[in-house]
Amino acid sequence: MGTAGKVIKCKAAVLWEPKKPFSIEEMEVAPPKAKEVRIKILATGICRTDDHVIKGTIVAKYPVIVGHEATGIVESIGEGVTTVKPGDKVIPLFLPQCRECNACRNPDGNFCIKSDITGHGVLAEGTTRFTCKGKPVYHFMGTSTFTEYTVVDEFALAKIDAAAPPEKVCLIGCGFSTGYGAAIKTGKVTPGSTCAVFGLGGVGLSVIMGCKSAGAARIIGIDLNKNKFEKAMAVGATECISPKDFTKPISEVLSEMTGNNVGYSFEVIGRLDTMVDALASCHMNYGTSVVVGAPPSADMLTYNPMLLFTGRTWKGCIFGGWKSRDDVPKLVTDFLAKKFDLDLLITHVLPFRNIQEGFELLYSGQSIRTVLTF
Ligand SMILES: NC(=O)c1ccc[n+]([C@@H]2O[C@H](COP(=O)([O-])OP(=O)(O)OC[C@H]3O[C@@H](n4cnc5c(N)ncnc54)[C@H](O)[C@@H]3O)[C@@H](O)[C@H]2O)c1
Ligand SMILES: [Zn+2]
Ligand SMILES: [Zn+2]
């Protein structure tokens, strides 16, 4: 291995501060320390959560390398790494699995204490491996994939089947697994039920795929952008509606459409008003509503507690409730066995240097998932 133990100079998309475009820079990536792994990124998807950092609605430390939905190859390993070796195909995990904390040890838990959801921007050892123009550059959720090379903690890495196509299975690193798991693991959608999905981006469409595979009889997609409806129907929605066509809340519209029988609702946008309306949409007694959209860091929510008093269940989930290191390799195997299709979610594939164009496609509502290749 020619590069092992040495600093690698490579191209990376740096966000120097919030609300500014990416700048493609030459960055130095230090070798992995103990229990860390350096990866060459092969493909990475663009998720709305990355945009939350650009906009500054999710806490992060700047300058930062965002990106958290990727496939890569292990370039080198630090001392004491036992679960991967150079040449292994891997998916970095924004939600790690240390296998030691309470959440990891609980069969129903997955929110590992080692995750960097609060934005410290460093690896477990406490420092960053990225330097640009002599300044430290911070990590994002322990992944940072908008770069040719990155370093992650061993507990934030899943080894996957070498035959997996990188530009597709990168979606298993976030969007697909999050949505699919929200339906089948967190919501526990039952056969014959009626589901409502608020937000038809890459994650919302994956919720629909999960509802369908769980045997839901009726799946209603909701989005302001009607251009999303065709894709939603293709992945399993039975009908779609836009809030623009109604003057009353969508919860009332859904109640009329279904005879007050939405068993499961999912908020997959990240807005407070739609979180409450999605809750109100599910049946007042036996309904379950799942918050999947990332809440803005600084915002508080008020809602009428009567919504819960009558018996509704309100849940949230990170990464679809999956235990990442255990379940990501299995999801990749399921993909290779054609148990689900990722092609419908990928609307654009662009070279990494066109990252800004990839985000413009997200802003204009034209893309579902853009995958950047290296
Ligand atoms: N819980 C997790 O682990 C997790 C993981 C990944 C993403 N997320 C979050 O999930 C959300 C969705 O991600 P995505 O990549 O699919 O985003 P996206 O931007 O591609 O999709 C959001 C969709 O919501 C629609 N929308 C916006 N405002 C609306 C409104 N008021 N009413 C109806 N529709 C509206 C948009 O038109 C768009 O189609 C984001 O908040 C993201 O941060 C959470
Ligand atoms: Zn994501
Ligand atoms: Zn843990």
Q: Would you say residue 326 lies in a domain?
A: no
Q: What is the pLDDT of residues 48-78, one digit of tens each?
A: 999 999 998 888 999 999 999 999 999 999 9
- Does one domain contain both 228 and 358? no
Check residues 297 and 354 and name the one with the higher pLDDT: 354
Q: Would you say residue 316 lies in a domain?
A: yes
- Does one domain contain both 349 and 236? no
What is the sign, positive or negative, of the torsion defined by CA atoms of 320, 326, 330, 332?
A: positive
- Look at residue 15 and give its three-state secondary structure: strand
**Rounded (10°) CA dihedral 242, 247, 252, 253:** -40
Burial class (CB within 10 angstroms; exposed 0-12, middle 13-18, buried 19+) of 122: middle
Q: Would you say residue 80 lies in a domain?
A: no
Per-residue pLDDT, averaged over 253-271, amounts to 97
Q: What is the pLDDT of residues 62-119, one digit of tens each?
A: 999 999 999 999 999 999 999 999 999 999 999 999 999 999 999 999 999 999 988 9
Cα 99 to ligand 3 centroid, rounded to whole Å: 5
Per-residue pLDDT, averaged over 189-213, amounts to 98
Query: Phi and psi dihedrals of 281, rounded to 5?
Result: -75, -30
Burial class (CB within 10 angstroms; exposed 0-12, middle 13-18, buried 19+) of 57: middle
Which of the listed residues 55, 203, 323, 371 should we mutate to test ligand 1's pocket, taking the one with most ligand atoms within 8 A of CB? Answer: 203
Percent of the chain residues past pLDDT 90, beyond the cut: 96
Query: Phi and psi dihedrals of 189, rounded to 5?
Result: -55, 135
Residue 1, pLDDT score:
54
For residue 315, the ligand closest to its alpha carbon is 1
- State which residues form the domain around 351: 341-374
Considering the chain, what is the average pLDDT of its residues?
96
Residue 299 pLDDT > 90, yes or no? no
Residue 327, pLDDT score:
98
Q: What is the pLDDT of residues 110-144, one digit of tens each?
A: 999 999 988 999 999 999 999 999 999 999 999 99
What CATH number is given to the structural domain containing 235? 3.40.50.720
Residue 192 pLDDT > 60, yes or no? yes
Cα 90 from Cα 56, distance rounded (Å): 29
Contact 186, 213 (CB under 8 A): no
Cα 206 from Cα 178, distance rounded (Å): 8
Q: What is the pLDDT of residues 360-370, one digit of tens each?
A: 999 999 999 99
Kindly report the pTM of this predicted structure: 0.96
Cα 213 from Cα 241, distance rounded (Å): 22
Residue 296, pLDDT score:
78
| Count of domains forming the chain | 2
Neighbours of 320 (CB within 10 A): 30
Q: Would you say residue 119 lies in a domain?
A: no
Residue 298 pLDDT > 80, yes or no? no
- Does one domain contain both 307 and 351? no
For residue 232, the ligand closest to its alpha carbon is 1
Which residue CA neighbors atom 20 of ligand 1 most closely?
A: 201
> Which is the closest atom of ligand 1 to the Cα of 316?
1
